[in-house]
Amino acid sequence: MEVTDIGNKEEGKVWHRKPTPGKGVFDNTVRFLHVAFDTTGDTFLAGDHHGNIYVFDISRNRFRLVQKTGQACTALAFSLRRTTEFLVALADNTIKCFDKDTKQLVSWMRGHEGAVSSISVHSSGRYAISTSLDTAQLWDLDTFQRKRKLNIKQSVGIQRVFFLPLSNTILSCFSDDSIFAWESDTLFCKYQLPVPDCGPKISYKAFAVTRDGKSLAAGGRSNLLHLWCLDSRQLVRVIQMPTQVRTVRQLEFLPDSFDGGASQTLGVLSQDGMMRFINIHTCKLLFHMGSHDNAITTVAVSPNGRHVAAIMDNGSINVYSVQSLTQELNKPPPSQVAVVSGGDADQELSNLKVKVRSEVVQRPAKSSGRRTQVKILRPPAGSTAEDKENELPAGLNKKRLVALLKAFGEYPAKYRMFVWRSLLCLPENHASYSSLTDKGLHSAYLTLHDKYPIKSHKLQRGLQRVLSALAHWAAIFGEVEYLPLIAFPFVKLFQNNPMLCFEVVATVIVNWCQHWFEYFPNPPLNILSMAENVLAHHDKELLQHLVDCGITSQLYVWPLLETLFSEVLTRDEWLRVFDSIFSNHPSFLLMACVAYIICCREPLLLCSQKQDFEYFFHHRNNLDVTAMIKEAYRLMGSTPADIHPRTMLSDFTPLTKDQYPVFNQYPEFIVEYQSREREKIRLQEMEYLRERQEVSALRADFVRRQAEEEACYAQQELLQKAEEQRRNILAQEEEKLTQQRAKLAAMKRELKVKEIQLLDATRSRFFKNQQDLKASQIQELEQEISRKMDLRERETAAAVQDLEVRQMELEAQRKRLEQVRRMLHLTFLPLSQLPLLSPPVTCSPSQT
């Protein structure tokens, strides 16, 4: 085990020395939170607590800091259609798309109100589903627009929503343990998976689907796992984990290159931080990762099943090599499987429930920086040379396989790839294959899609990659025109593992295509003569008929060989035939060609035209493949030794493990001459294309200028017409404006008259009000005057009365005085001595 401290580095080497099988640890000063592999399985993303996103390339031994988001990520996705782009869900409930090469922000997707817990990408890489607790949203990754939104009741939360592999079906799992399948285009509900009513409630939290999309595993707050078959939509098995497992946190299927997508190994991450890998059919515990002291929080499994990236409880990342952890996955399937039934559960579940047997665990020894110890099974000391020859890797025996093949006619489809890999003794030389693929696409196959158009871009790229590796391995394979026909069936069969595909094709060329290239560029006349000799020995009448019709072996044998029967057989028939070809001597391929011709003798005897024969050997025909294979075995045993191809062809020779062998069984001077001529033609073609491009550019420039002139003239005419039209419109508008102005003047006059009339009426009302006010004031003054006059009259009357009274008093006094004077006079007293009785009377002016 090697530990790499990333620290504050932005790039560097993953390992500073060649890694040994086991695991590698990436340590960081900040805790890692999430990891995600790309489609190749050799590169993965990792995001830490501070929002730093790293890319780790295991095959190139490099890591690089590609983005600083500034906030923690909650989910990652790295399997988009554009392989340099990735999605990261952030703590602010948004999703951003970045380019790992340019480090630029591609798009910013908003819409979630809660934290995004998972991102599922469609197998095409064009669509993605982001899931939060309250909603799930479907995004178009070409336009980065939201297409659909799944809203739910607040009482029912979403556990997970994801795409099923190789289909347009969306699976949604809710907190009430209900599981629904939807059509992604129309969101039509296709079906609901049945959940058992009896037994304990699991409360699903973790889900996993096989690569072929046919099996679903679910687990939760229990040590029980439910396994559904999505084709029949039935619960097929309930697996009981060991008692140490109380809660299942995560489930991941471990892919295998030869299982056809039907993964058998399931990884179960439990609450104790250990991930246990079990076989879902035998219910055996194969191996485990993590421990109580070094617990795992989350894992990601590479699509090719070679690596497992685990984030540990301390925030570091452990990268495990699956091949070094166990040899259980590479062993042949057992002949019998014992299933241990469950305890006293209900009868319905008891038929499905099995327990995981933990006593057969293979635990890797604790790594101390050394190579993991592996126990190797050795043959008995007394084994013979023949037994050693028949012994195959992984404990298989070729004799037993051939006996099984003859009994059933074919190998089990489930284990066919495993058997083929063992029969061909593939070395799985990653280093040598990488050295070939690192050279890039070969110049001979840059335009392969023009000559061999394939609808699937994935198959097109896979075929181009394998052919380029073959051309870099041996120069002749850049010149062989029929090489794509040989390789295509294997590319289609091994499209998920290009290295194994290359090694299978290379093994076929080295062994079953012996002496094919000695007469290059002509067909292998020596091989065709062998087949013709065998046909002459076993069916002279048919050969004579072919000769009479002018048909040579280049027309009835070579089409079968250069396509390896892929044009005349269906997929199942082709697999059955190659089960026998790979299990026998390389000469069996020629015998199979002769057997095909003999089994089709009746329709061939009816043909007489060359076109009919050409059509017959390039199209599928009504043929019993079982009879053809039996005929091939008969030919292998009954053909005389002097004409038997076995005497001319060497025995099977596997590819060497350390390095691929040198292939030089061809006329090198012809290949070199053709290579030089092809390079010369390519340069001439490039020069011609350059000149044609220049002429095209000049012609395009001329056409552009002519179009611009015509467009200019047309535009001028349009402008003149538009000008005239605008002038007419302007005249009409001016006339309308004049009329409107006249109407406006009339309206103004009318308004002025109304205003004057209104002012007159107002002035009249004002004057009238003033007059009324003056009149009322005058009336009030008159009333005041009359009141004062009345008051003055009353005061005058009162004063008159007072004067009259006073006058009367004065008169009385005068009379009294007069009387006194008389009396005094009488007494002869002077008047001045007489006393006055009252003061003299004076009157005020007002009283007067």
What is the model's pTM? 0.44
| Residue 839 DSSP SS3 | coil
Residue 541's pLDDT band (cuts 50, 70, 90): very high
Residue 846's pLDDT band (cuts 50, 70, 90): very low
pLDDT at 472 over 50: yes
**Count H helices, E strands: the chain?**
20, 31
pLDDT at 832 over 50: yes
pLDDT at 715: 85
Residue 598's pLDDT band (cuts 50, 70, 90): very high
| Residue 46 DSSP SS3 | strand
Average pLDDT rounded to a whole number, residues 635-660: 87
pLDDT at 510: 92
Residue 401: which H helix or E strand, with range? helix 398-408
For residue range 602-633, list pLDDT tens digits in order: 999 999 999 999 999 999 988 899 999 999 99
Alpha-carbon torsion, ordered 408, 411, 413, 417, to 10 deg: 180
Average pLDDT rounded to a whole number, residues 446-462: 88
Q: What is the torsional sign of CA 769, 775, 779, 781? A: positive
pLDDT at 382: 41
What is the DSSP secondary structure assignment for residue 294, as one 8-state letter? S
CA nearest neighbour of 363 among 245, 276, 263, 251: 276
pLDDT at 90 over 80: yes
pLDDT at 346: 43
* Structure tokens belonging to residue 403: 């006996």
Average pLDDT rounded to a whole number, residues 432-457: 88
Amino acid at 164: L
Amino acid at 125: G
pLDDT at 358 over 70: no
Please tell me the distance from the alpha carbon of residue 552 to that of residue 546, in angstroms, as a whole number.
Answer: 7
pLDDT at 504 over 90: yes
pLDDT at 365: 38
pLDDT at 792 over 60: yes
For residue range 300-331, list pLDDT tens digits in order: 999 888 889 999 988 888 888 887 776 544 55
3-state SS record for 685-721: HHHHHHHHHHHHHHHHHHHHHHHHHHHHHHHHHHHHH
Q: Where are the domains of the chain?
A: 11-223+297-329, 522-649
Question: What's domain 11-223+297-329's superfamily in CATH?
Answer: YVTN repeat-like/Quinoprotein amine dehydrogenase (2.130.10.10)
pLDDT at 714: 87
Amino acid at 834: L
pLDDT at 21: 55
pLDDT at 285: 87
Please tell me the distance from the alpha carbon of residue 498 to that of residue 466, in angstroms, as a whole number.
Answer: 7
Average pLDDT rounded to a whole number, residues 415-423: 89
pLDDT at 785 over 70: yes
Residue 372's pLDDT band (cuts 50, 70, 90): very low
Please tell me the distance from the alpha carbon of residue 146 to that of residue 139, in angstroms, as a whole number.
Answer: 4
For residue range 246-265, list pLDDT tens digits in order: 999 999 998 876 666 678 88
pLDDT at 634: 92
Between 22 and 139, residue with greater pLDDT: 139
Average pLDDT rounded to a whole number, residues 210-237: 89
**DSSP letter for each residue of 618-650:** TS-----HHHHHHHHHHHHHHS-TTT-GGGTSP
Cis geometry, peptide bond prior to residue 521 (ω within 30 degrees of 0):
yes
Residue 97: which H helix or E strand, with range? strand 95-99
Distance of CA 3 to the CA centre of its chain: 32
pLDDT above 70 coverage of the chain, percent: 85
Give one word for 214, left, alpha or beta, with left for phi > 0 and alpha for psi -120 to 50.
alpha
pLDDT at 268 over 60: yes
For residue range 173-201, list pLDDT tens digits in order: 988 888 999 888 777 888 888 887 776 77
Q: What is the mean pLDDT of the chain?
A: 83
pLDDT at 119: 92
pLDDT at 24: 63
Q: Give the chain's end-to-end CA distance (angstroms, integer).
A: 146
Residue 847's pLDDT band (cuts 50, 70, 90): very low
Residue 50's pLDDT band (cuts 50, 70, 90): confident
**Residue 674 near residue 521, CB atoms below 8 Å:** yes
Residue 65: which H helix or E strand, with range? strand 62-68
For residue range 141-170, list pLDDT tens digits in order: 888 888 888 777 666 778 889 999 888 899
Exposed, middle or buried, 203 (CB in 10 Å: 0-12/13-18/19+)?
middle
Please tell me the distance from the alpha carbon of residue 141 to that of residue 95, in angstroms, as a whole number.
Answer: 12
Distance of CA 176 to the CA centre of its chain: 27
Q: Which long-range contacts (CB under 8 A, 24 or more apart) does 310-313 make?
A: 310/275, 311/32, 311/33, 311/34, 311/35, 313/273
Please tell me the distance from the alpha carbon of residue 58 to that of residue 76, in angstroms, as a whole number.
Answer: 18
pLDDT at 17: 66
pLDDT at 378: 37
| Residue 660 DSSP SS3 | coil
Q: List, edge to edge, every strand of the sheet that includes 85-90.
A: 73-77, 85-90, 95-99, 105-109
Residue 830's pLDDT band (cuts 50, 70, 90): low
| Residue 353 DSSP SS3 | strand
pLDDT at 580 over 60: yes
Please tell me the distance from the alpha carbon of residue 81 to that of residue 97, in angstroms, as a whole number.
Answer: 12
**DSSP letter for each residue of 203-235:** -EEEEEE-TTS-EEEEEESSSEEEEEETTTTEE
Residue 402's pLDDT band (cuts 50, 70, 90): confident
pLDDT at 394 over 60: no
| Non-local CB neighbours of 291 within 8 Å, separated by 6+ positions | 273, 274
pLDDT at 53 over 80: yes
Domain 522-649 in CATH 1.10.472.80? The answer is yes
For residue range 644-655, list pLDDT tens digits in order: 988 888 888 888
Distance of CA 21 to the CA centre of its chain: 32
Average pLDDT rounded to a whole number, residues 758-771: 90
pLDDT above 90 coverage of the chain, percent: 32
The residues that bridge with 289 in the sheet, in sequence order, are: 275
pLDDT at 375 over 60: no
For residue range 323-349, list pLDDT tens digits in order: 777 654 455 444 433 333 334 434 444
**DSSP letter for each residue of 410-476:** S--TTTHHHHHHHHHT----HHHHHHHHTT-S-GGGTTHHHHS--S-HHHHHHHHHHHHHHHHH-GG
Nearest 5°: the CA angle 583, 588, 591 is 150
Average pLDDT rounded to a whole number, residues 405-423: 88
Q: Helix crossing, 457-473 with 498-512: angle to 10°?
A: 50
Exposed, middle or buried, 752 (CB in 10 Å: 0-12/13-18/19+)?
exposed
Please tell me the distance from the alpha carbon of residue 405 to that of residue 579, in angstroms, as a whole number.
Answer: 8
Please tell me the distance from the alpha carbon of residue 813 to that of residue 751, in angstroms, as a whole number.
Answer: 89
* Structure tokens belonging to residue 816: 């009294």
pLDDT at 835: 54
